[in-house]
Amino acid sequence: MCFAYDARPPDLPAGLALPALAGGAPAEELVLTSADGTRFSAAFAESPDPRAPAVVVIPDVRGLYPFYIELAERFASAGHHAVAIDPFGRTAGTGVRGEDFDYMPHVRQTRPELVQADVAAAIAELRERTGETAAVTVGFCFGGLQSSLAAANEGLGLAAAVGFYGILAGSRMGVPSPIELADRMRCPVLGLFGAEDQAIPVEQVHAFDDALERAGVRHEIVVYPGAPHSFFDRRAAEHADASADAWRRVLAFLEDARTPAAT
């Protein structure tokens, strides 16, 4: 399990929100269509004073629920157009997920190539609505794995890929792990992990770091001492410093990701 249903993304550290948008830009709920015709839900937050790149947020196993809608608004407040997607449209239909969403049967039925198609549809929507051509993925847990897979998907042409405690080792859903795929990643990678994450041993994080280094992929891997899985939560006051640092690193990483990766 990733975040609790009542979790909320941490506020942006002082000075990182645009002054006119400090309260957050409202998100618009959408229904997008993937390449296979699947209709899936998304939440789009537009920044009136944008900078490259735009952001595609890939949620954890809870799918599109209030945490990720608000997170898209946070990115817009920092000057980045953002769209948060729901990866379960094929099996669960459309709509924002409630606290009673029984997610595991739907997680088991996902296929990475179809989630990647949903990411592509979200990027296309961002480009159509905003004209922004550079895009990054930011994923959490299940979505962190998908963000790593997106980094190895040349067809997406990502400017960067960011993963908060994305699963790293052991084949999931019939695909190689991010460690095994490091030499296929075609854009810069930022990975943020908790040292006390019981699902992702620090040894795996180091192995991922080493694999990216060997592959010559520009990357930054951060491990926060004392932080568990899902530390990026406004309610977790004891991890507020780690959350603030994570925000700074993510936005600095986006600042460097100005143009799409070559395809």
Using pLDDT thresholds of 50, 70 and 90, give the confidence band for residue 96. very high
Using the structure block, give the residue that is written with the tokens 């949620």.
59
Between the alpha carbon of residue 238 and those of residues 183, 232, 254, the distances in Å are: 36, 11, 26
Q: Which CATH superfamily is domain 24-256 in?
A: Alpha/Beta hydrolase fold, catalytic domain (3.40.50.1820)
Of 242, 174, 233, give the one whose Cα is nearest residue 5.
Answer: 233
The mean pLDDT value for 103-113 works out to 94
pLDDT of residue 18: 63
Domain ranges of the chain: 24-256
- State the chain's maximal CA–CA distance in angstroms: 46
Supply 245's token pair.
């640092």
Average pLDDT, the chain: 92
- Quick check: helix, strand or coil at residue 175? strand
pLDDT of residue 22: 47
The mean pLDDT value for 233-255 works out to 96
